[in-house]
């Protein structure tokens, strides 16, 4: 008999050839393809196949593959097999008779790890599944805090709208808000499960069916859903997730939102202003769009224990608020610059929240775990734009949520809606929204218009030389271009394996013979090309005088233009390029970027920072006679960047740039014109004794520092400094000091590393400024504001989210760079 065999032999004897396959593959991918007659036949074959063929997942999928999609009735019978046999109310008597005449079989000696996990997911109670205690309180300004380690809880009456914007909206930080008067909503009493079933039992609502590819959502009468909610044992239950509930039952809108139309005389518009939603979200820019122009934005959420939402970010760059009326939700969040462990955003299959918590969460190291909080009735959570979040319902829950656009996320909304020019509906929505919003809010106009980069991209697409580096159809053409450059620069006809490397705006490839970078016109691409070539030429000319402890850049193998003047029209982009040697040939270890292994303590920084400062000292102090290569790289080329003209151009563009980027809060942006210097000499003036550096790198950040992680102590040790595309000649060395402090030290002032920066500054011959109008702290803050791209400002705000609560630029400069005067 099979029962006398060991489990492996018993399984093989029972499953036959199926024993070679994992149980999950047999059940999820094979049996779900079969019809009911074949499944019944398999049940009679062996005990293992009987158990597999009776699996509720198989019958649930079969139901939603074959049911009448127009029907809004489906009576859950306690199992999906019974529901398949008796799906409608008229089958009630037949179902009772079947259960009376057919006793369930109990099979012993069927061992399956997959079925065991399925059983655990379906039967584990989450009623008390609270997260571990939160991390210690948020540290003071200036310490390393790329993300907020906890989700704070605020009292509604103590948090006004302006404070909310400065503390949470602007810095893009989540918060839980309590005592917001939800108890006064009619929905507080009207939206209990019993009340909804009694009043709207025959009303169909949209149900989310996460386990079905055939019917991921369908409409079901509420009385059938509430019955299912009470009796199901699914590992991924059905979930009422309806964006159209107010259309089906208009009175439900008034149960939590009383709407009014307020005329805005100066614009002639009538945006809808919500009076009952929490005051921080009372005006949504999308309310300017009417009818079908407005995308879905609000949802009624009702679900049993184990339902929720897998890892996702909210659509169209929006933020969201979610108010819980009953039950408890466990929230997990990661900031926009992180990807949740175990989640692949490019994959079509995603782990559900139950599977993630049971299968992935227990194995995460403490430092990789998400920020978590439990939401109770009466509480509202704010989830900022771009934050990854997952929700797990710990018991039966009823909630309402809305997505919205406002001052804090309008840039993300624009970028998201314009991201794919094939999404014509989204682009049309954005164009309509931008037009109306610019009339209502003229101060937002610079941020609403297409960026210079967007306009450049449109022009590029009309040129014969343009080739999208991310298009799958262009892979072979790009490889041909790389082969051409490798042969020109090295003489080798075969470049070996060609790998596309993601490095910001430029198009970069790694080959067996070196690194090839094509410069795009974005962010002064041609000037960047000239700067990188000039910097590499200078560094190679001075290489003999470099000490061994300097982070040497890779040797330049070739540079020029992919297309000549004779090939293209003068107005077309000729794709300037530079090729450098592969660093793996110069170093016996595999190099990685330091951004992957940033240190967390003083020891790690004491290893990372000194070599960087030694390298900057070398670059800054190069003999001026070495800057001898004044020959033009091209007949039409501009002079390489010199500090005076470079700073003046940045100063001229600064105010408009920040109005477009909107990285800093509104109240500081209004003060920016009066804070910025009147001319470039206020920032840097050698005639007043400011120290001149021969060569400034211009963008010292973790992505441009290469090195390796030692096996013995797992400390990152830098070996090379790359990417001199932002280099400036005869310039202010403070540019590099500011970049190091913000992007390498993450604005930390607590590790003693700021003394190293100040010592370097003094050793370089600089003295502490006596003029308060151009103190070191102010000049550093000016350099942040004059940076030609938003990256430095974004990183500073991420490290110091309290920026929003600072009322003046002077207060901000003191908080960030005041350590200059304290050492």
Contact 733, 621 (CB under 8 A): no
Cα–Cα distance, 793 to 784 (Å, whole number): 6
Q: Tokens for 773, please give them.
A: 């109008």
Verify that 190 and 267 share a domain, yes or no.
Answer: yes
Verify that 30 and 111 share a domain, yes or no.
Answer: yes
Q: Tokens for 493, please give them.
A: 């006809």
- The CATH number of residue 563's host domain is 3.30.200.20
pLDDT in tens, 339-379: 898 887 666 667 899 999 999 999 998 878 899 999 999 89
Tell me how crowded residue 113 is: count the other CB atoms within 10 A of its CB. 10
Count how many domains the chain has: 4
Q: Tokens for 635, please give them.
A: 């007949």
Verify that 643 and 779 share a domain, yes or no.
Answer: yes
Cα–Cα distance, 190 to 185 (Å, whole number): 9
Sheet holding 556-561, edge to edge: 499-503, 506-510, 515-518, 576-580, 556-561
The pLDDT value given to residue 613: 94
Cα–Cα distance, 451 to 468 (Å, whole number): 19
Global pTM reads 0.89
Verify that 436 and 455 share a domain, yes or no.
Answer: no
DSSP 818: T
Cα–Cα distance, 328 to 30 (Å, whole number): 37
Verify that 555 and 596 share a domain, yes or no.
Answer: no
Domain stops at, among 417, 445, 473: 445
The pLDDT value given to residue 503: 58
Q: Where are the alpha helices (DSSP H) in 662-700?
A: 666-675
Contact 707, 716 (CB under 8 A): yes
Residue at 613 is within a domain: yes
Nearest by Cα to 812 from 795, 823, 796, 789 = 796
Residue at 717 is within a domain: yes
| SS3 at position 522 | coil
Nearest by Cα to 391 from 299, 316, 317 = 299
Verify that 562 and 628 share a domain, yes or no.
Answer: no
- Biggest CA–CA distance in the chain, Å, is 101
Verify that 822 and 676 share a domain, yes or no.
Answer: yes
Nearest by Cα to 741 from 803, 674, 819, 672 = 819
CB crowding 281-314: b at 16 or more within 10 Å, else e: bebbbbbbbeeeebbebbbbbbbbbbbbbbbebb
| SS3 at position 684 | coil
Contact 308, 391 (CB under 8 A): yes
Verify that 440 and 512 share a domain, yes or no.
Answer: no
Contact 320, 405 (CB under 8 A): no
Task: Write out the residue range of the structural domain in which residue 778 sits.
Answer: 592-823
The pLDDT value given to residue 249: 92
Residue 275, Cβ density class (10 Å: 0-12 exposed, 13-18 middle, ≥19 buried) = exposed
Tell me how crowded residue 668 is: count the other CB atoms within 10 A of its CB. 21
Residue at 135 is within a domain: no
CB crowding 164-194: b at 16 or more within 10 Å, else e: bbbbbbbbbbbbbbeebebeebebbebbebe
* Chain position carrying tokens 């016996």: 588
Nearest by Cα to 707 from 612, 606, 795, 619 = 612
Contact 256, 186 (CB under 8 A): yes
Close Cβ partners of 744 (under 8 Å, ≥ 6 residues apart): 594, 608, 609, 612, 700, 701, 702, 705
DSSP 27-54: IIIIGGGS-HHHHHHHHTT-HHHHHHHT
Residue at 133 is within a domain: no
Domain stops at, among 586, 610, 644: 586
Taking the CA atoms of the chain, what radius of gyration do you get in angstroms?
31
Residue at 134 is within a domain: no
- The CATH number of residue 262's host domain is 2.60.120.650
- The CATH number of residue 799's host domain is 3.90.1200
Low-confidence ranges of the chain (pLDDT < 70): 1-4, 103-105, 135-148, 257-275, 345-349, 420-422, 502-503, 545, 548, 583-590, 624-642, 713, 766-772, 822-823
Verify that 237 and 95 share a domain, yes or no.
Answer: no
Q: Tokens for 560, please give them.
A: 């020029």
Residue at 40 is within a domain: yes
Q: Tokens for 429, please give them.
A: 């929505």
| SS3 at position 548 | coil
pLDDT in tens, 383-437: 999 999 999 999 999 999 999 999 999 999 998 998 866 678 898 999 999 999 9
Contact 280, 382 (CB under 8 A): yes
Cα–Cα distance, 252 to 300 (Å, whole number): 10
Residue at 148 is within a domain: no
Contact 384, 315 (CB under 8 A): no
554 phi/psi in degrees, rounded to 5: -65, 150
Verify that 629 and 775 share a domain, yes or no.
Answer: yes
* Chain position carrying tokens 């926009």: 336
Long-range contacts, 468-471 (Cβ 8 Å, 24+): 469/500, 469/507, 469/518
Contact 101, 88 (CB under 8 A): no
Residue at 649 is within a domain: yes
Verify that 420 and 475 share a domain, yes or no.
Answer: no
Domain stops at, among 445, 476, 494: 445
Nearest by Cα to 25 from 114, 111, 109 = 114
The pLDDT value given to residue 767: 64
Cα–Cα distance, 695 to 97 (Å, whole number): 89
Verify that 601 and 559 share a domain, yes or no.
Answer: no
């Amino acid at each position: 008999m099979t029962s006398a065999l060991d489990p492996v032999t018993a399984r093989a004897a029972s499953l036959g050839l199926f024993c070679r396959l994992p149980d999950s593959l047999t059940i999820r991918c094979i049996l779900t393809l079969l019809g009911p007659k074949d499944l019944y036949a398999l049940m009679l074959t062996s005990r293992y196949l009987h158990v597999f063929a009776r699996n509720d997942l198989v019958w649930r999928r079969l139901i939603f593959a074959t049911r009448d999609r127009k029907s809004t009735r489906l009576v859950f019978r306690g199992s999906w097999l019974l529901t398949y046999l008796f799906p409608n109310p008229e089958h009630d008597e037949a179902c009772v008779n079947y259960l009376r005449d057919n006793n369930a079989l109990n099979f012993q000696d069927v061992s399956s790890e997959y079925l065991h996990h399925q059983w655990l997911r379906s039967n584990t109670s989450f009623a008390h599944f609270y997260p571990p205690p939160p991390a210690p309180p948020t540290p003071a300004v200036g310490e390393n805090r790329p993300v907020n380690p906890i989700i704070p809880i605020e009292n509604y009456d103590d948090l006004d709208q302006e404070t909310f914007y400065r503390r949470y909206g602007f810095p893009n930080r989540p918060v839980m808000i309590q005592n917001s008067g939800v108890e006064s909503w009619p929905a507080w009493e009207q939206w209990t499960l019993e009340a909804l079933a009694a009043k709207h039992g025959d009303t169909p609502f949209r149900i989310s069916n996460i386990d079905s590819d055939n019917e991921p959502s369908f409409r079901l009468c509420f009385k059938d859903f509430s019955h299912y909610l009470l009796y199901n044992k699914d590992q991924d239950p059905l979930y009422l997730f309806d964006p159209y509930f107010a259309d089906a039952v208009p009175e439900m809108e008034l149960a939590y939102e009383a709407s009014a139309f307020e005329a805005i005389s100066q614009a002639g518009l009538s945006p809808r202003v919500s009076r009952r939603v929490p005051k921080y979200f009372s005006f949504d820019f999308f309310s300017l769009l009417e009818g079908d122009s407005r995308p879905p934005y609000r949802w009624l959420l009702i679900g049993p224990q184990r339902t929720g939402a897998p890892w996702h970010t909210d659509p169209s760059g929006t933020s969201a608020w979610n108010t819980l009326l009953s039950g408890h939700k466990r929230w997990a969040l990661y900031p926009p610059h992180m990807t949740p462990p175990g989640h692949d955003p490019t994959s079509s299959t995603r782990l559900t929240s139950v599977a993630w918590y049971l299968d992935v969460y227990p194995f995460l190291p403490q430092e990789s775990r998400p920020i978590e909080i439990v939401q109770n009735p009466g509480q509202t959570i704010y989830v900022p734009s771009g934050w990854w979040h997952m929700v797990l319902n710990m018991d039966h829950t009823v909630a309402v949520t809305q997505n919205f656009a406002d001052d804090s996320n309008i840039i993300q909304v624009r970028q998201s809606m314009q991201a794919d020019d094939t999404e014509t509906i989204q682009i049309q929505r954005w164009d309509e929204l931008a037009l109306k919003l610019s009339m209502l809010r003229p101060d937002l106009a610079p941020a609403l218009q297409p960026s210079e980069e967007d306009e450049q991209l449109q022009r590029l697409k009309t040129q014969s030389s343009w080739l999208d580096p991310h298009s799958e159809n262009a892979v072979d053409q790009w490889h041909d271009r790389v082969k051409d450059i490798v042969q020109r620069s090295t003489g080798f006809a075969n470049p070996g394996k060609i790998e596309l490397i993601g490095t910001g705006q430029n198009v970069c490839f790694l080959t067996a013979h070196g690194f090839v970078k094509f410069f795009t016109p974005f962010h002064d691409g041609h000037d960047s090309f000239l700067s990188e070539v000039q910097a590499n030429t200078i560094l190679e000319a001075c290489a003999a005088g470099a000490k061994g402890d300097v982070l040497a850049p890779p040797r330049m193998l070739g540079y020029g233009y992919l297309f000549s003047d004779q090939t293209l029209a003068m107005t077309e982009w000729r794709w300037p390029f530079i090729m450098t040697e592969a660093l793996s040939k110069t170093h016996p270890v595999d190099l990685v970027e330091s951004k992957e292994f940033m240190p967390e303590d003083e020891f790690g920084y004491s290893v990372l920072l000194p070599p960087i400062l030694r390298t900057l000292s070398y670059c800054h102090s190069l003999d001026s006679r070495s800057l001898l290569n004044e020959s033009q790289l091209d007949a039409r080329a501009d002079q390489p960047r010199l500090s005076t003209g470079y700073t003046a151009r940045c100063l001229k563009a600064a105010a408009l740039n920040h109005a477009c980027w909107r990285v800093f809060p509104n109240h500081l942006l209004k003060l920016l014109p009066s804070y910025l210097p009147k001319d470039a000499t206020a920032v840097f003036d050698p005639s007043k004794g400011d120290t001149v550096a021969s060569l400034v790198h211009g963008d010292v950040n973790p992505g441009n520092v290469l090195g390796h992680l030692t096996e013995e102590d797992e400390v990152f040790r830098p070996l090379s400094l790359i990417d001199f595309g932002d280099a400036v000649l005869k310039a202010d060395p403070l540019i590099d000091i500011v970049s190091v402090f913000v992007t390498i030290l993450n604005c930390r002032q607590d590790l003693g590393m700021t003394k190293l920066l100040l010592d370097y500054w003094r050793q370089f011959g600089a003295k502490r400024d006596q003029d308060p109008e151009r103190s070191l702290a102010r000049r550093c803050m000016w350099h942040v504001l004059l940076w030609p791209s938003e990256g430095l400002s974004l990183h500073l705000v991420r490290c110091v989210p309290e920026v929003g609560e600072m009322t003046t630029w002077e207060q901000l400069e003191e908080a960030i760079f005041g350590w200059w005067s304290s050492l």
